[in-house]
Amino acid sequence: MKINEKIKEKLVLALDVETFEEAQELVDILYPYIGTFKIGLQLFCGFGLEIINYIKDKNADFFLDVKLHDIPNTVKNASYNIIKNGANFFNVHASGGIEMMKAAKEGALEASGKYNRKKPLILAVTVLTSISQQVLEKELCNKKTVEDLVIEFAKNAKTAGLDGVVASPKELKAIKKELGDDFIVLTPGIRPLWASKDDQKRITTPKQALDDGADYIVLGRAVTKAQDKIEAIEKIYKEIEGKI
Ligand code: C5P
């Protein structure tokens, strides 16, 4: 299949696996199709630098989904090291506040200047999809609706100079409307029509998410658990191109 580069750069693959070998195998099979590999906390805590270096050797990009949330100085230094180690993008919790998000950007820019990296891309996590309205009110003591808080946090992220947010497909249009088309949205919860929903509740198809304005879509089990991973990713390309 001839790879459509415009589609490839929007595809992020979640390497949610237990072992380095499994991650390695996914990268080996899928790197021609995937713009960015997402390294989450599980893999990062297990085999951080090993997997980072493996992906770098394939000339693929990677997104460190480590959701930083700490005092500004610590976040600044962690962000510096993330960029130093060659990540193109990473994320922080918007609930850490504007000063913390600004510190993330400062650390990232400092490292990208020093090590001559591409412009860093920093996204904010607004409200985790695991937080219900009830938990927000009772445990996090916040009276806002989840939807309003998502927009509020997205605005704070923009004020801090971050590039965008991670958001569910359900929030995509509202964020683009409020924050503008340039504000990047990366959406998980992506399922082609033929794939199992797994434990995801608010899902959308790859094509729909891109049509709604997603800048990046996160593909996970729909591809990584498919028996034939190449067939699955090629089907997704065709679906996005409108061929199926
Ligand atoms: O396998 P699946 O497509 O459900 O994987 C989705 C990926 O996106 C996982 O890495 C998950 O942690 C991440 N994610 C999510 N929902 C969020 C934020 C991140 O599913 N709200």
Tens of pLDDT, residues 156-210: 999 999 999 999 888 999 999 999 999 999 999 999 989 988 887 778 999 999 9
Model pTM score: 0.94
Report the separation in Å between the CA atom of 2 and the middle of ligand 1, taken as the mean of its atom positions.
28
Ligand 1 atom at minimal distance to the Cα of residue 219: 3
Instruction: State the pLDDT at residue 36.
Output: 95
Cβ-contact 232, 223 below 8 angstroms? yes
Instruction: State the pLDDT at residue 155.
Output: 98
User: What residue's CA is closest to ligand 1, atom 21?
Assistant: 129
The stretch 138-156 carries a mean pLDDT of: 95
The stretch 214-242 carries a mean pLDDT of: 96
pLDDT single digits (tens) 70-88? 999 999 999 999 999 988 8
Q: Counting beta carbons within 10 angstroms of the beta carbon of residue 190, is it exposed (0 to 12), middle (13 to 18) or buried (19 or more)?
A: buried
User: What residue's CA is closest to ligand 1, atom 12?
Assistant: 40
Is-catalytic flag, 8? no
Catalytic residue among 8, 56, 58, 67, which? Answer: 67
pLDDT single digits (tens) 2-24? 999 999 999 999 999 999 999 99
| Residue 132 falls in which region: left (phi positive, over 0), alpha (psi -120 to 50) or beta | beta
Lowest pLDDT segment from 21-25, 45-49, 97-101, 123-127: 45-49
> Could you give all domains of the chain from N- to C-terminal order, each with its CATH number?
5-240 (3.20.20.70)
Ligand 1 atom at minimal distance to the Cα of residue 224: 1
Report the separation in Å between the CA atom of 189 and the middle of ligand 1, taken as the mean of its atom positions.
6
Query: Which stretches within 97-228 are classed as H helix?
Result: 98-115, 133-138, 146-159, 169-179, 206-211, 221-224
CA 20 to CA 54: how far, in whole Å?
10
Neighbours of 86 (CB within 10 A): 18
**Cα Rg of the chain (Å, integer):** 17
Report the separation in Å between the CA atom of 85 and the middle of ligand 1, taken as the mean of its atom positions.
24
Banded model confidence at residue 31, pLDDT cuts 50, 70, 90:
very high
Residue 149: strand, helix, or coil: helix
